Amino acid sequence: MSAQPRSGWRVLSIADGSARVAWVALLAALFAVGAWIAWPEETGPEAEAAARGVSSVDEGQPVGPRDDEQPVRTAQAQHGRIHGAVNVPPGVPFPERWELHVRPARYYDAGGATERTLVFEAGESEFEVEELPLGHYEVLPVAEGLNAHAQPVVLTAESSWVYVSTLMTPAGTLSGQLLHESGTGVDGLTIRLIDRRSEFERVVETDLAGVFRFERLPDGEYRLEYGEVVNPLREPRTISFRAPSMHLPAEHVESSGQVTIQVLDSGGNPVEGVVLTGSGSGGGTIDRVTNADGTSRIAGLPAGDYRIWCTHPERGERELEVFTLHSGDHATVQFVLEP
C-alpha cells in the first residue's frame, strides 16, 4: 500500500524546475533587502581608507591619495621665446644689415620684460630670441631707409613661445622752409631732428631758398630744432611724422646773418681741426670746428660784434680779432694762425 500525499500540499518534483528557481530568487531578494535595512552605512576615515585601498588610518589623520594617485606637477615656464620673420613689400629690396629691437612695452605694465637687440648683417629675414623673462614686449625691426611699427607681444607661463610676423616699408620725407622777414631764404642754417624716444639726432642745413629736407625718415615722434643749440632762431617744435611725406608750412624768423670763418697758417695753407668759440654783443654764440679747407660756416647769428677764440692741439690757443655782423649779412672772415 503506497503512501498518499496529505490534502492541500503539493510535492515539487524535478519537473517543476522553473518554479523552484523562482522561489530561490525570491528568497535571496528578501534576504538582501533585510540586510540593507538592518546594516548601518559605514562612514568616517576607515570607510574612506577602505574605499581608497589603504589598510589603516590613524585617528584624526587626514586621508591622502595613495602613492600611485599623487598629482603630476609640471614646472611653469619662467622664460619665453619670440621667433618670427620680417618681410618687405614686392619690389623693395631686403636690407643686408638690420637690427631687431625687443624692448619692454611702453603702454602696459611690462612685468619682468627686459631689452634685447639683435644685429643681422647677411640679409637674414627670420629671427629667434630665447630666454626672455615673461612680460609685455614690443618687437621692432630697424633698417636704414625703411619704416616699421612695433608689434606687441605678451609672454606668459601658458604662452611662452610666440611667433611674430612684421613688415618693413619704405620710409618717408620731412621738409620745411625758413624765411627772413624780408621773404628771402635763411641759407646755411643747421636744422636738427631728434628722435624723442632714442635721442638719435639727424642734422641737415637749409639751402639758398631756406628749404630743409630729411630723407628716408622712419615714422615716429621727433623734436625739430632750428639753429645752434646754444643760439636757436626759434623755439623747438614737436613733430609726429608718418610716411610717406610731410611738408611743414614756411616759417618766418627774425633777420639774422651768417659768417664763414677760414683759418690759415703763415704760408696761406688751411688749418683743419681748429676749435672756434666766441660770442656776440647781440647774444649770438659760436662753437664750431674747421674742416679740411680750414673753414666753418655759422648761420642764424644775430647782428653784433663778435670776438673769436681758437684752439688747436699743435698750435695752441689764441684770441682772434673782432668782426662785426649785420642782419642779412653773408660775411667771410679770414684769420691767420701762427704756429
pLDDT at 66: 40
CB 99 within 8 A of CB 85: no
pLDDT at 9: 39
Give helix then strand counts, H and E, for the chain.
2, 25
pLDDT range class, residue 14, cuts 50, 70, 90:
very low
pLDDT at 97: 96
Tell me the pLDDT tens digit for each residue of 257-296. Answer: 888 889 988 888 999 999 998 888 877 788 889 999 999 9
Place of cell 522561489: 23
- Cα–Cα distances (Å) from 110 to 60, 149, 291, 309, in that order, read 48, 18, 47, 51
Tell me the pLDDT tens digit for each residue of 90-134. Answer: 999 999 999 999 999 987 787 889 999 999 999 999 999 999 999
Nearest CA among 264, 268, 319 for reference residue 295:
264
Q: Write out the residue limits of the CATH 2.60.40.10 domain(s) in the chain.
A: 79-170, 172-253
Q: Which fold has domain 257-336?
A: Immunoglobulin-like (2.60.40)
Tell me the pLDDT tens digit for each residue of 56-66. Answer: 333 333 333 34
Share above pLDDT 70 across residues of the chain, in percent, rounded to a whole number = 76
Q: In angstroms, rounded to a whole number, what is the distance separating the alpha carbons of residues 166 and 34?
A: 77
Q: How many CB atoms lie within 10 A of CB 130?
A: 11
Tell whether the model's pLDDT for residue 21 goes beyond 70.
no
Tell whether the model's pLDDT for residue 29 goes beyond 70.
no
pLDDT at 95: 96
- Kindly state the helix (H) or strand (E) to which residue 22 belongs, with its residue range: helix 17-38
Grid cell, residue 270, equals: 688751411
- Cα–Cα distances (Å) from 323 to 97, 331, 332, in that order, read 48, 10, 10
3-state secondary structure of 138: strand
Sheet of 116-120, strand order: 116-120, 98-104, 135-142, 151-155
Tell me the pLDDT tens digit for each residue of 37-62. Answer: 444 444 454 444 344 433 333 333 33
pLDDT at 123: 95
Mean pLDDT of 161-176: 96
pLDDT at 25: 57
Mean pLDDT of the chain: 79
Non-local CB neighbours of 268 within 8 Å, separated by 6+ positions? none
- Exposed e or buried b per residue across 23-55, where buried means at least 16 C-beta atoms within 10 angstroms of its C-beta: eeeeeeeeeeeeeeeeeeeeeebeeebeeeeee
Tell whether the model's pLDDT for residue 1 goes beyond 60.
no
Superfamily covering domain 172-253: Immunoglobulins (2.60.40.10)
3-state secondary structure of 46: helix
CATH of domain 79-170: 2.60.40.10
pLDDT at 78: 87
- More confident of the two residues 234 and 70: 234
